[in-house]
């Protein structure tokens, strides 16, 4: 993923201060970790796939002095056990796992940060438990619609014919009429000589379409540990992601009162922009930013900058009650949290967005802030701008 390139992520590496495995049923244990400020604003990172798993680099999107950074690997993914397991593995199970983890970590509410499948899971969890959410940062929007699954399996060949040809021609000609079924029969096999080549072919295909420009390091990285990703993705696709068509769009009203930032690469070929456009129209209160020179990956430079700006914006929306007693050493952007206690009087800086041909200044760090009121409604906080394409302020010196 080219993560070694200096300056790509806004904060330096940080180690977890606690980690472990949480038993969520008789079969599954999910890996979890917490880093940053133990008294900070809780933020949960929801990885993609399904089956992708978390990386140490994912901690670096968040200011460790401000956030309590919670990473976890979903059932069967990453360091969760048993790895690659598809039994008792559905969207409903993942939502229930998040609730069990939240209770285990004694978190009342958390900010959800998810990309690709992580955006799907964030929306599904948020609509099931809106009272537990502080807001959303979503990237590379995927709504789990049948048409999106068909795009990945078949229609992507209109843009990446070479990658799709390698993906389809991995299979015998007689089996290419049902790509998903043929891959699943191999991926679910217990024989490594059968499932590993199929997993690598699947991962190579997905990685080849994940960035605007070819990234050989990303392709090699995804191929190296491909089985859980390919097996679980194919399992979920075969069951329409365990969602009803239009379920997430139809449920947006449950979370429209919560602040949200949507980040979408214009040339995302894994999760095409049509889904993000639909979500933005169904959720006009959300701030929606199109990155004009990016594909799918969170580590595309423009996407990374926008996500860094989003986590900075939420520092203003969700300030700390008081400064941490022993903040960890980290690069701190010049734009600081207000230091006020969260409540009805909290304010967020906003700046009008521009078209995707010129990235909006709040995320580029050059804007003069404007203020927008932040209000409370009952037990559920209602935070965020009331006009579309108004953005909270972002870091003033986030590195490229």
Positions annotated as catalytic residues are 116, 268, 296
d(CA 50, CA 84): 10
Strand partners, 352: 390
Name, in order, each residue with C-beta under 8 angstroms of 370's C-beta and a sequence gap of 6 or more.
349, 350, 351, 390
| Sheet (strand 347-352) strand order | 370-373, 347-352, 390-392
Structure tokens at 370: 């404007």
**Chain CA centroid to CA 206, Å:** 16
Cβ contact 143:275 at 8 Å: yes
- 3-state class of 278 per DSSP? helix
Four-point Cα dihedral 275, 276, 281, 285, nearest 10: 150
**Residue 18 CA: distances (Å) to CA of 24, 25, 30, 70, 280:** 18, 22, 14, 10, 36
Four-point Cα dihedral 78, 79, 81, 87, nearest 10: -10
Four-point Cα dihedral 212, 218, 219, 223, nearest 10: -150
Strand partners, 36: 68
**Chain CA centroid to CA 40, Å:** 20
Structure tokens at 95: 């939502």
**Residue 393 CA: distances (Å) to CA of 118, 150, 178, 376:** 24, 38, 48, 20
Cα distance between the two ends of the chain: 15
d(CA 131, CA 217): 40
Residue owning tokens 């009429």: 177
């Amino acid at each position: 993923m080219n993560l070694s390139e200096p300056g790509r992520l806004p904060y330096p590496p940080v180690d977890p201060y606690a980690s472990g495995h949480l038993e969520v049923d008789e079969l599954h244990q999910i890996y979890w970790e917490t880093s940053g400020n133990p008294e900070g604003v809780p933020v949960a990172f929801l990885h993609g796939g399904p089956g992708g798993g978390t990386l140490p680099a994912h901690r670096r999107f968040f200011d460790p002095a401000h956030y309590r950074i919670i990473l976890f690997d979903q059932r069967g993914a990453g360091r969760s056990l048993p790895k690659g397991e598809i039994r008792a593995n559905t969207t409903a199970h993942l939502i229930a796992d998040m609730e069990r983890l939240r209770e285990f970590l004694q978190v009342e509410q958390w900010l959800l940060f998810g990309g690709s499948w992580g955006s799907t899971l964030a929306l599904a969890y948020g609509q099931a438990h809106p009272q537990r959410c502080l807001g959303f940062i979503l990237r590379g929007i995927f709504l789990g619609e049948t048409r999106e699954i068909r795009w990945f399996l078949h229609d992507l060949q209109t843009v990446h014919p070479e990658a799709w040809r390698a993906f389809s021609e991995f299979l015998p000609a007689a089996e290419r009429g049902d790509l998903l079924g043929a891959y699943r029969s191999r991926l679910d096999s217990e024989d490594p000589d059968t499932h590993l080549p199929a997993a690598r072919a699947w991962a190579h295909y997905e990685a080849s379409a994940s960035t605007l420009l070819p990234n050989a390091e990303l392709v090699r990285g995804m191929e190296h540990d491909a089985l859980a990703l390919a097996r679980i993705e194919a399992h979920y696709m075969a069951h329409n992601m365990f969602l009803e068509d239009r379920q997430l769009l139809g449920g947006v009203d449950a979370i429209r009162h919560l602040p949200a930032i949507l980040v979408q690469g214009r040339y995302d070929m894994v999760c095409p922009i049509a889904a993000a456009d639909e979500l933005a129209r169904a959720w006009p209160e959300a701030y929606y930013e199109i990155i004009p020179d990016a594909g799918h990956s969170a580590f595309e430079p423009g996407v990374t900058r926008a996500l860094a700006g989003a986590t900075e914006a939420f520092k203003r929306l969700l300030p700390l009650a008081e400064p941490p007693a022993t903040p960890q050493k980290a690069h701190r952007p010049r734009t600081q949290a207000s230091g006020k206690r969260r409540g009805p009087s909290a304010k967020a800086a906003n700046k009008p967005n521009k078209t995707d041909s010129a990235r909006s200044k709040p995320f580029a760090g050059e804007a003069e802030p404007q203020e927008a009121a932040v209000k409370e409604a009952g037990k559920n906080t209602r935070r965020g701008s009331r006009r579309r394409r108004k953005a909270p302020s972002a870091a003033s010196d986030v590195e490229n």
